[in-house]
Every structure is written in C-alpha cells, then in structure tokens.
C-alpha cells in the first residue's frame, strides 16, 4: 500500500512562499496593495468583470445574496447538488430556498426545473458549476430573465473554465469563487465575488467592509470631520488580507498549468475506466471548456459505498460530493423531504470523487485505476 492519497490538495511552490513572506515583511498585513493586485489579476480571468476578494467561498455567497438584496419574503432557486453553503447563505439572509432538480448527466441545475420553480417572489436563480463543468448558463440566463431574477453562478469549482468560449465570471450577474486548498487555486481560506461594474459591485464591496461609507459625497453627515465614516446598510468584515491575496496572485500565475494537469489526469481516469461496465465516467457537454475540480465517477448497481470503503481501505481518499443539500437536518427540520429532487438523489447515490489535484502523479492515478479494476474483477 502506498501513501494516503487525498481527493484534493493544494500545490504550493517556493515562489508562493516568497510572495507571502514578502508581504509579511512589509507595512500591510490586511487591506493593502496585494488585495487590489489580486482582484485585478482575477479580473484577467473573468472577461474583465471586477472581483471583490473575501474570506471564503461561503462569504462570497453571503456577499452575493446580500448585494442582490435577498431578504425575508424572497425566494432563491438553488441546485441541491452542492455544498450546503450555496443554500445556507440564502437562508441566513431570510429567504426561502427552493431546490430545483439537476441534469442527470452533469449534476448541474436543470433549466426546465429552475423555470418550473419560479414564482413572482424569485429573487435569484443560483446554479453551481458542478465538478468544474459550467452549468447551462445561456438557458439559465433566459430562465432568470423571464422572472426578473438575478443569475448567480457558484463557481467554487470552475475558476479558469469557460462556456461557449466565454470565461466563467463573465456570464452570470454574480459569480462566486472559493480558494479553499482543495479547489483549483488556493489562498488557504478565501473567495471572491465577481460582478459587472454597477450597483451590485458597490453593494458587494460595502457588505464586505461593514457597509462603511467613506466617500464624502455619499455620506449623510459629511461635515462631521475628516475621520468620519458611516454605515447606511449593515455589513460584515469579510476582508481577505494582503498576506493571502499575495498567495492568490502567485497561484493565479499557474492557473493555466493547473488546468492542463487536471485535464490530463481526468483523461487518464477516463481512459483507464472506460471499459469497466460497473462505472460511468463523467460527461463533457459541447461548448464546455472544463477546469476539472472533481473527477466525479458514477458507480452503478448500488456498489458506491462498497467501492468507497474498499478504496479508503487501500489508502485512497475518495470522497462523496455531495448529499443533496436538503438532506441536511437543518433543511429536514424546515420540512424539506427526501424525494424532492429525484435526479439529484440518483446522482448522489452513484457519485464518487477520485483523487484529482495537480501534483498527483501518473503512477498515483494508475494505482487508483488498478484498485477500482481489481474491485470489480475487470
Ligand atoms: C467549497 C464550496 C463552497 C464554499 O467555499 P468555502 O471557501 O469552503 O467557504 C461553496 N460552494 C461550493 C460548490 C463549494 O465547493
């Protein structure tokens, strides 16, 4: 048995470490020039849409919903095939979360299901680029527009990818990223909200920083004194510090390299598992340039759990992403019932994430393939 292989992990170089230590030796630890630089660097990957760096992908979602003005009386349509934060942050804003089912092949929010979930109270339609594969963003845009809702893209998995030639971050009203170590690039903890310049951007920036208004022209009491800053709407402190933004800029330089290596590994699994009758390899829809965050294998015939346990026993850190979000007891207690989104539940029952991260070697990948083949005797 080889060393334990996690399902995802960061790739940190000496250059990354040097970028961080340089900031530590400087004058700014928190909000300084590295934040501005990281936001500008990120905008280089979003078709130029501005980025607001925040402390996590969860904070990015919270900021996005707050910027959208989501509150009590509003409904937010959410994909259930996601980490709980996509739904939890809308619920924390006081909205009612309406789960709409997913496409059986990609696990992404199904436009038809999202359309059927719309009411006159729908404020946001929140899709997730599951495993890095962009959602059906053109159809979802049309769905959101048909009821005057905003389109939010939880792109925690998909920074660096594109859809029909347009980069992730250039299509939705609000796009959110996560820079947790298992994701496509890391700032340790971190995230960002991306949105075109305009009121959503201004509100996102304000919410990240307590809602503080420093611009005298916008203040209600501008004559208070030069020290004065005032709050018009409540916000929080979700500021990503300079130290971590420096890491982010350094990591971003390798985003293309990360994407190529992730694609190679993904293809190697595809090739090694294509003829195993008991599994299905992931699909790529036409028009998707995927930054693969997960290798989402499907295990048929109810054997997912047995394969999970076999691989874990062999030191291979497979994972399941995700239980349908409404299976969490917090949603159960609010009356959400199993059976609500049958495609998502079917997807979950078969899903198994294989190790996928840039520093994984071909030999590691082959070891995982061999263990799976051995389990099925193929
Ligand atoms: C990781 C993740 C989040 C939350 O990001 P954090 O940085 O861990 O807070 C939200 N949505 C999805 C789909 C994720 O994978």
245-293 pLDDT, tens digit per residue, is: 999 999 999 999 999 999 999 999 999 999 999 999 999 999 999 999 9
pLDDT interval class at 3 (50, 70, 90): confident
Instruction: Name residue, tokens 């049958």.
Output: 342
The highest-level CATH class for domain 14-252 is: alpha beta
Q: Is the CB of 57 under 6 A from ligand 1?
A: yes
| Statement: residue 112 has pLDDT above 70 | yes
Pocket test for ligand 1, best of 83, 86, 236 (most atoms within 8 A of CB): 83
Whether domain 255-376 has CATH 3.40.50.300: no
pLDDT at 378: 87
Among the listed residues 183, 261, 293, 304, the single catalytic one is 183
Closest CA to 312 of 378, 358, 376, 372: 372
Give the pLDDT mean for 300-327: 97
| Statement: residue 234 has pLDDT above 70 | yes
Atom of ligand 1 nearest to the CA of 128: 13
Give the pLDDT mean for 169-194: 98
CA–CA separation, 191 vs 238, rounded Å? 10
Task: Supply the Cα-derived Rg of the chain in whole angstroms.
Answer: 21
Q: Is the CB of 152 under 6 A from ligand 1?
A: no
Of all protein residues, the one whose alpha carbon is nearest to atom 2 of ligand 1 is 156
pLDDT at 2: 63
Give the pLDDT mean for 147-153: 98
CA–CA separation, 160 vs 193, rounded Å? 14
Q: Where in the chain is the domain with CATH 3.90.1150.10?
A: 255-376
CA–CA separation, 329 vs 341, rounded Å? 16
Closest CA to 243 of 194, 189, 206: 189
* Runs of H (alpha helix) within the chain: 14-24, 33-43, 57-67, 85-92, 111-117, 137-146, 199-208, 242-252, 255-273, 304-313, 329-332, 342-350, 362-376
Q: Is the CB of 355 under 6 A from ligand 1?
A: no
Relative to beta strand 174-178, strand 351-354 is unpaired
| Statement: residue 1 has pLDDT above 70 | no
Give the pLDDT mean for 321-349: 98
Q: Where in the chain is the domain with CATH 3.40.640.10?
A: 14-252
Give the pLDDT mean for 321-331: 98
> Per residue in 76-98, pLDDT tens?
999 999 999 999 999 999 999 99
Concerning whether 123 is annotated as a catalytic residue, the answer is no
Residue 170's contacts (CB-CB under 8 Å, 6 or more residues apart) are 46, 47, 48, 49
| Statement: residue 309 has pLDDT above 60 | yes
Of all protein residues, the one whose alpha carbon is nearest to atom 3 of ligand 1 is 57
| Statement: residue 51 has pLDDT above 70 | yes
Average pLDDT, the chain: 97
Atom of ligand 1 nearest to the CA of 157: 15
| Statement: residue 187 has pLDDT above 70 | yes
């Amino acid at each position: 048995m080889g060393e334990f292989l996690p399902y995802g992990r960061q790739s940190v170089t000496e250059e990354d470490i040097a970028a961080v230590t340089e900031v530590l030796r400087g004058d700014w630890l928190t909000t300084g020039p590295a934040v501005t630089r990281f936001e500008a660097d990120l905008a280089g990957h979003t078709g130029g849409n501005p980025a607001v760096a925040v402390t996590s992908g969860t904070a990015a979602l919270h900021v996005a919903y707050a910027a959208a003005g989501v509150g009590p009386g509003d409904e937010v349509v959410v994909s259930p095939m996601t980490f709980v934060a996509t739904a939890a942050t809308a619920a924390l804003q006081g909205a009612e979360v309406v789960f709409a089912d997913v496409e059986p092949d990609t696990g992404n929010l199904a436009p038809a299901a999202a359309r059927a979930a719309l009411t006159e109270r729908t404020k946001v339609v929140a899709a997730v680029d599951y495993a890095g594969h962009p959602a059906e963003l053109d159809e979802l845009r049309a769905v959101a527009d048909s009821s005057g809702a905003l389109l939010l893209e939880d792109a925690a998995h998909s920074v660096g990818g594109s859809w029909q030639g347009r980069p992730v971050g250039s299509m939705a009203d609000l796009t959110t990223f996560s820079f947790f170590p298992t994701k496509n690039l890391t700032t340790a903890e971190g995230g960002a909200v991306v949105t075109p310049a305009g009121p959503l951007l201004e509100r996102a920036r304000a919410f990240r920083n307590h809602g503080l208004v420093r611009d005298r022209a916008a203040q209600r009491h501008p004559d208070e004194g030069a020290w004065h800053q005032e709050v018009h709407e409540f916000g929080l402190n979700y500021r990503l510090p300079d130290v971590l933004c420096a890491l982010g800029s350094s990591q971003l330089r390798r985003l293309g390299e990360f994407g190529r290596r992730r694609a190679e590994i993904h293809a190697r699994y595809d090739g090694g598992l294509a003829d195993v009758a008991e599994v299905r390899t992931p699909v790529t829809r036409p028009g998707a340039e995927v930054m693969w965050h997960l290798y989402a294998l499907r295990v048929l015939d109810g054997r997912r759990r047995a394969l999970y346990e076999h691989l874990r026993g062999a030191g291979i850190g497979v994972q399941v992403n995700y239980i349908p979000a409404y299976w969490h007891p917090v949603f159960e207690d609010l009356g959400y019932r199993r059976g609500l989104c049958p495609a998502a539940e079917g997807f979950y029952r078969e899903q198994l994430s294989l190790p996928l991260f840039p520093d994984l070697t071909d030999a590691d990948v082959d070891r995982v393939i061999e263990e799976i083949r051995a389990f099925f005797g193929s």
